[in-house]
A = this chain, B = another copy of it.
Amino acid sequence: MKVPIILVNYKVYETSYGKRGLEMAKIVEKVALETSTEIIVAVPATMITRVAEMVSIPVYAQHVDGVPEGAHTGAITPELIKDAGARGSLLNHSEKRVRMDEMDDALKRMRKLGLESVVCVDRYELVAPMALLKPTAVLVEPPELIGSGISVSKARPEVITSAVDEIRKVEGVYLVAGAGITSGEDVYVAMKLGSDGVGAASAIMKAKEPQKVLLEFVNGAIRALEERGGR
């Protein structure tokens, strides 16, 4: 994973699968290449192979089950997503919560397979507990702002600063901020407050001009990094 972390969660919009899902991946890849920035797409399990075969950007699953190989009908295991071409996965998104023991099971298997992991939490108090399980990153997202268009950067900056304080208690885990991120300014602020990047979904997936929005995001991120002296 590279800072700035910019993660586009496809969710299950009409732009998330089939031809449109592939076109979106092409758009994201274009911005990534033009700006020499890594941008992650977290796609539906059914799309991983198709996207991973078509673009060079990192592809994530949106969820992974911690169970081992065996009689687990319907499970999406770390082995399955790796085989499909994913480089990692979201975990514990507010729309797909998992229990703590399942999370630990999943993270252990993912590490063994060399998969990256972004564990979502809905409050800063869970940042350090989750970080202790050693995911690649923790993504903090106040659920009431998800999809709202009102960004965590503006509406609840203290969530980001508190989360940054928390993540520092554990070494080697990135902090990503999310929820309502819709502009380059939102990204800039989130990173100035100390996060290593942002997660977004509807702002990109439902945009008329996703390329333009994403470019703004990256520029906001780069500006913040430069001011922080990190790039």
Q: Is the CB of B12 within 8 A of A83?
A: no
Q: CB within 8 A of A100: which of B13, B44, B83, B126?
A: B126
Q: Is the CB of A12 within 8 A of B126?
A: no
Q: Is the CB of A95 within 8 A of B71?
A: yes
Residues A100 and B130 in contact in the complex (CB < 8 Å), given A50-B49, A73-B90, A84-B46 = yes
Please, which residues of chain B bring their CB within 8 A of the CB of A49?
46, 49-50
* Cα distance, A48 to B44, chains bound together (Å): 12
Q: Does A106 contact B (CB under 8 A)?
A: no
Q: Place the interface of chain A in its size category.
A: 35 or more
Please, which residues of chain B bring their CB within 8 A of the CB of A84?
17, 46-47
Q: Does A3 contact B (CB under 8 A)?
A: no
Residues A100 and B99 in contact in the complex (CB < 8 Å), given A46-B84, A69-B13 = yes
Contacts of A41-79 to chain B: CB distance below 8 A? 42, 44-50, 62-63, 67, 69-77, 79
Q: Does A104 contact B (CB under 8 A)?
A: yes
Please, which residues of chain B bring their CB within 8 A of the CB of A46?
45-46, 48-49, 76, 80-81, 83-84
Please, which residues of chain B bring their CB within 8 A of the CB of A47?
80, 84
Contacts of A77-129 to chain B: CB distance below 8 A? 77, 79-81, 83-84, 90, 92-101, 103-104, 121-123, 125-126, 128-129
